[in-house]
Structures are given as structure tokens and as C-alpha cells.
A and B are shown apart, each in its own frame.
Chain A
Amino acid sequence: MGDNGQTKTLTLTKKDFVSDQEVRWCPGCGDYSILAQVQKVMPELGIPKEKIVFVSGIGCSSRFPYYMNTYGFHGIHGRAPTLATGIKAANPELSVWVITGDGDALSIGGNHFIHAIRRNIDLKIILFNNRIYGLTKGQYSPTSEFGKKTKSSPMGVIDYPIKPLSLAFSSEATFVARSIDGDPKHLASVIDRLAKHKGSGFVEVYQNCNIFNDGAYEYFSARDVRDDRTLYLEHGKPLIFGKDKNKGIRLNGVRPEVVTIGEGGVRVDDLLVHDETAPEPNLAYILGRLEYPEFPVPMGVFRAVQKPTYETMLEAQIAQDIKVKGPGNLEELLNSGETWLIGPDGDQQPAKSTA
């Protein structure tokens, strides 16, 4: 039908982003919710399918590119940010997404992860954090809780877990957010924000592995306790939470504390006001480390600032160099020195430029 002046059609729908591949996650896995929300957000971005690439590493979450009807790359373990960096640098027009997990990004791929983030190259990184190795059947991961008993820690984990948000802040991330599989509306809003950010964006998604780490986040996210134990971050608004919206976060010096509005003279004006655009990530760092039961678990966008991106600066440098030295010639470059011709009698002579 199209735009013939009479009628109007939406260009793409969610179904356009669903591939024909059999989805092979376990029934009940939180990955289904994340996939559904990504597929829901995609058509709303107005980006043609052929301009979108999903890159992954290894793990359950890394099967994601198969299920998206876009370009995709099921990469090597931990190297998804690296492959994605190459894709974005070579073709900055593409919308490049990285799908990774707590093992893939924080264990084997820790180095690749932090360097992709600090470069501020325009990648959309979604980390599915289920605090377990699911694909290899239940060993502890870098985000598994201290003391957790798993197949590889039968007496309890004695590693201290990585906090992915803290790592992202200290890697100078320009966009940091968190959401959870069980809250699809919130998840979709965060993915939408990630998609629209220009620069390295990082979203940690708390995800339930119903086989090897079932109920990992139920303590704060189960539907009937969620409102009391979750702090939804909203830019420019005081940090209020609770079913009755009567609790808040206040800073006492540099220490956060939970207060009840109206008790002990506490007013809304006393509460910390969320500023995702703060030049320094110090407050966001404090919020990123709040944990239940001392605090509610913060969800939403912690940080969203603008800085020149790697690929735009790279393009500018290339354009500048072409302006000064001309467009260049690969063959000439290869023969520009330190090359020799071997004569029929084995003599070596410096090669002459063919240009």
C-alpha cells in the first residue's frame, strides 16, 4: 500500500525483527522477555533492518543474534565488544549492538569490555546478568554472590563479585543503565534510551536462569514486593520509592540513607535529586552500589552524558589526513620502502615504486 496519499502504513513491525530460527533457550528463561522487548523497540527506532547488527560472544545470551532478523555475528568468547568496535569503525552508519553475559563480558572478556566502553565508540551493549554460567550447566560466574553454592563452588564461592555498573562507571561510560527481565515496560524504556544514546552505552539486565539460578532476583523483584524494594531513577526528580511513595534516599555526608518522608521532619526537598547528566559519575557510582536489604535496588538510567565518539573522531582524522596527503594508494603504500625484489640469481635489489 505505502504512502499513496490515501493511506499510511507503518514501515516495520515487531514481527519484521523475528527470525525464522527455533529459539533454544529453556522455557521460562528471562532471555525471552529481553528478546521480546528488543524486538518491540526496534521498529520504533526507524532504522532499516539492513543497518542493524547484533554481535555476541559465547553463552546462552549470545544466541541472541540468531533470533533477530537483522545482521548478526555469533562471535568468539569475550570478544563481542572487539568485533563490534571493528564493525562500527569500518561502517559508522550501522547501529551496532553487543549482546553478552556476566561470564562473557566480565570473565574472559573483561578487558575487551572496559576498553570498548572507555573509547566511547557508539555501541549498544546489553549484558544479561544471571549470576551463573548457564550454558556450561551451573558453575559460578564473576557476579555470583559471595558464599553461593554451585557445581564449581560446592562449599560456597570465596571470590568477591564484580559489580558491573561500578566497572562501567570507572571505565568512563557515557551511558549506564539497569533493568530487569520481569519488568517488560521498564526494560523497553531503557532499551529505547540505549538505542538513542550516541557513544558506548551499557545496560545491565538482571535475568533469571530458571534452571541453574532460579529466583536470583526474586528477593526484590517479585511482583508483590517490587514497588517497596525497587528505586526507579528519574532524571531531575527526587529519589522516592515504596508502594506508597513515602520513602526516599538522602545523602548524609557521602553516605546514602533511607528515610521516610514526613518522619523526623524529613521533607521531599531533603532527598537526593537524580541527575543522570552530572559531569562526574560520583553520585551515579553511589547509586549503582545500593543493594537490598539495606537499600532498594535502583533501576533506570544512572548516567547519560555526551562526549565525542570514537568513530566520529576517527572519521575526522581520516578526512583530515586525506585533505593533507591526498586519498592515498594501497599498492604504493605496500611498496613504499623496506621491500626487495629477488633476482633470478638470488640477488636482492630494493624494489622501485610501481606508481
Chain B
Amino acid sequence: MICPQCGHNNLEGLDSCEACFQDLSTLDVPQPTEGLQKHIMAGTIGQVEFPFDRLVVIEPTDSVAHAVSRIKVAGIGQAVVVEDEKPVGILTERDLLYKMTGPEIDLKKIQVKEMMTPNPDAVEEGDAIRVVINMMSVGGYRHVLIVKDGKVARIISAKAIANYILDTSALDFYSAGGEGPSKSFAIRLRQVKIRHLPLRSPALVERIASMRETIEAMRSTHRGVALICDHGKLVGIFTERDLLKKIIGEPVNWSASVEQFMTPNPAKLSPDDSIVRAMKLMYEGDYRNTPLIDTSGKAAGVVTVRDVITYFAELFPKEALNLPPDPYQKMATPDGA
């Protein structure tokens, strides 16, 4: 550990410099340096633009049918459940995927509080980007609530965070006279391929499979998207959003084949395409999931916006992956020796 005052090379973890007694205790915790590391540490949630997020607020005693219709009208995938102006839950497409067991369920008779995910985690606008990256990668969330004075203000999506990273990295890439570490990092980022991301195995379903089988495949693999194939060849995708828009609350027979409800010929990428290309496609097309195909057109996997966020968390383990539940916690008393 180099002393910033006198340059003495100290043993790691010393509280003060052995040569000049300079306080070194603050050097132990990660500090913003440059490039993306600086952007995610010093950048705050308030600085992120929200191109696609609208807020739908419902109450715990509302019917799920009411909530679903409002979510559909807004064209989004979740609603925030509020009681006495405080967030008590979030009702997402994922909740519906797991908790709707069949078309016979009367959503008018089920209250939101029975299906929602209770006690959602929340951040404030002044929190650093890395805090949200941590929550999304470690907690597996695609949306995080932003509260102000305890009340729900906005909701931030994984896509918005991915866009922030893309934008700041582009700024570093094109910055004037930039030959420093920020630019070299931005260049290296462009060389990362999709197959280097922590991809998860996809839910693969043949086009003749029933709606019920497709939903079961998504549940058992914990995926929000199923790749619909014809003898292994990708012909479409079926996502949680399709489930919400076309199945939930609609008079649909779950024995019908998924082919009728899938999105045919989706935008596709190769595992050898760059991560930047995937992020751009997600941004421009407003996709959360992009299927991957090999050279013969066979389904080779799927890249999701969460995989992208998790990659960046792993890229900065100290700054973004390994945060305390209270990211700004300071111990009142020292622990241990």
C-alpha cells in the first residue's frame, strides 16, 4: 500500500503510514479512480435517464385483474404496491409466471397482496450506480424502486443501467485526446464477446409444445424467456411480456401450441458478437432478452440484460459485487482484534 503523502510502500491493511504517520485507513475501501469504475462509483442514480420506465402504482387490496389491466395499458411489466404511501411490494411478470397455475384462475378474486413479492428493496436518487448494479446482479432483480422521503418516486430498470454503462463508455471512447486508462478500458470492452458473459442455460421449447409446457419449461429453468425451436432451429421467442400481454387474463386455452403466441423471427445475435452490440440492440430494440444462434441457425442460448449487468458486477468485484446490505455502513466500533 503506497502512502499518498510520502510514497512509502507499507504492508497492506496498515492504519497509518510507517514512515510519515499519514492516515491510511480510508485507502482500504474502494475509491473512484477512472473510466467505468469511476462512473459506477461516483455516478448517482439521479444521473441515469429513464427512457422506458413508467410507474404504475396499485394497492395491496386491488384485484390482480385490475393490476394486470393497468400494467398492460402502461405497456410495462410491473406495478409497485403501495400502502399508506409506502412501498410494500412489487407485482411483476415473474410473479405471474410462477403463481398463475392455469387459465381457470379468476384474477378478479385474487388480491394483489396474495401474488406480489413483498418488501421490495429500494434506493434513493443520491445512491451510487454500483449499488443498483449490486442489487440487480446479486438479488436477481430487473427493477429497483427509487424512494424519496420513504415514498415511491420512480423505478429503475436493468436496461436503464445498461444504457448508462453504454453511454459513459462511449463518452470515454470518443473523449478528446483520450489515450488514458479510461479509453483503453472502453476499447477492451468492445472486444468482450457475448459468450464471455455469465450466460445461463436457456429454456428450449419445440414450436408444437403447448402453452402449459412452455410455461412449465420457463418455471423449471427459472428463465423469463423460452426459445421456440423447430428441430433445434430458432423460430421464435416467448417471453414473460408475451405471457402478460397475450395469455394472462385472456380467454386462452393453455393446451394451444406456443407457436400462436410467440414472437416469430426475433432479432438474433451470435455468441461471438460483442457485448457492446448486444447492449446496443437491447437499447435500440427495447429488448430484455436476445436469442443467440450458431452458424447453422440452431438456438445456442440467450443473452439477457441481467447477464450484462452481472458481467459488470464481476468486472468490479470490490466496488459492485461485494457490498454490505447497507452499502455505506460505517461500524460504530471496530470488530475483532
Contacts and interface: CB of A to CB of B under 8 A. Distances in A.
Given A7-B114, A208-B317, 14 more contacts: A6-B101, A7-B99, A7-B115, A9-B98, A10-B98, A15-B119, A27-B323, A30-B322, A32-B321, A137-B337, A149-B11, A151-B11, A184-B314, A224-B315
Chain B CB count within 10 A is highest, among A15, A23, A36, A60, for A36
A214 B119 contact: no
A212 to B, nearest CB: 4
B331 interface: yes
Contacts, number: 118
24 contacts: A6-B105, A14-B139, A15-B119, A24-B331, A25-B324, A27-B324, A27-B327, A27-B329, A28-B30, A28-B318, A28-B322, A32-B322, A33-B322, A136-B336, A137-B13, A137-B336, A182-B321, A183-B198, A184-B310, A210-B30, A210-B318, A212-B12, A223-B315, A224-B315
A211 B196 contact: no
Contact of B198 (A26, A36, A185, A210): A185
Interface of B: 11-13, 28-30, 98-101, 104-105, 110, 114-115, 119, 137-140, 188, 192, 196, 198, 200, 310-311, 314-315, 317-319, 321-327, 329, 331, 335-337
Chain A CB count within 10 A is highest, among B11, B310, B322, B336, for B322
Contacts of A8: 98-99, 101
B314 A138 contact: no
A224 B30 CA distance: 19
A122 interface: no
A182 B314 contact: yes
Nearest to A245: B195
Interface in A220-235: 223-224, 227
Instruction: List the 3 shortest-distance A-B pairs measured between CB atoms, nearest first.
Output: A28-B318, A212-B13, A32-B322
A52 to B, nearest CB: 20
A27 B196 CA distance: 27
A185 to B, nearest CB: 5
Contacts of B322: 27-33, 181, 208, 210
Contacts of B318: 28, 208, 210, 214
Given A7-B110, A15-B119, A22-B329, A214 B12 contact: yes
A184 B321 CA distance: 9
Nearest to B321: A33
Given A212-B12, A227-B196, A28 B314 contact: no
A211 B188 contact: no
Chain B CB count within 10 A is highest, among A14, A28, A210, A243, for A28
A7 B64 CA distance: 12
Interface in A12-56: 14-15, 18, 22-33, 36, 40
Contacts of A154: 11
A26 B28 contact: yes
Contacts of B104: 6
Contact of B105 (A7, A33, A224): A7
A223 B324 contact: no
A37 B188 CA distance: 29
B24 to A, nearest CB: 11
A28 B100 CA distance: 39
B29 A26 contact: yes
A60 B336 CA distance: 8
A1 interface: yes
B12 A224 contact: no
Contacts of B337: 135-137
Chain A CB count within 10 A is highest, among B188, B310, B337, for B337
A52 B86 CA distance: 34
Contacts of B115: 1, 7
Contacts of B114: 1, 7
Contacts of B29: 26-28, 210
Contacts of B11: 138, 149-151, 154
Contact of B28 (A30, A36, A210): A210
A27 B30 contact: yes
B13 A223 contact: no
A33 B317 contact: yes
A129 interface: no
A213 interface: yes
A246 to B, nearest CB: 13
A1 B317 CA distance: 39
B100 A7 contact: yes
A223 B198 CA distance: 11
B180 to A, nearest CB: 17
Contacts of A211: 12-13, 28
A186 to B, nearest CB: 8
Nearest to A182: B317
Contacts of A23: 324-325
A33 B316 CA distance: 12
A24 B335 contact: yes
Nearest to A44: B222
Given A30-B317, A150-B11, A184-B310, A9 B99 contact: yes
Contacts of B310: 184-185
Contacts of B188: 224
Contacts of B140: 40
A25 B323 CA distance: 9
Contacts of A213: 12
A208 B140 CA distance: 22
Contacts of B119: 15
Contacts of A25: 324
Interface string A203-219: 00000101111100000
B13 A36 contact: no
B336 A135 contact: yes
Contacts of A185: 198, 200, 310
A152 B329 CA distance: 30
Interface string A102-125: 000000000000000000000000
Chain A CB count within 10 A is highest, among B30, B139, B188, B318, for B318
A181 B110 CA distance: 41
Contacts of A33: 138, 317, 321-322
A185 B200 CA distance: 9
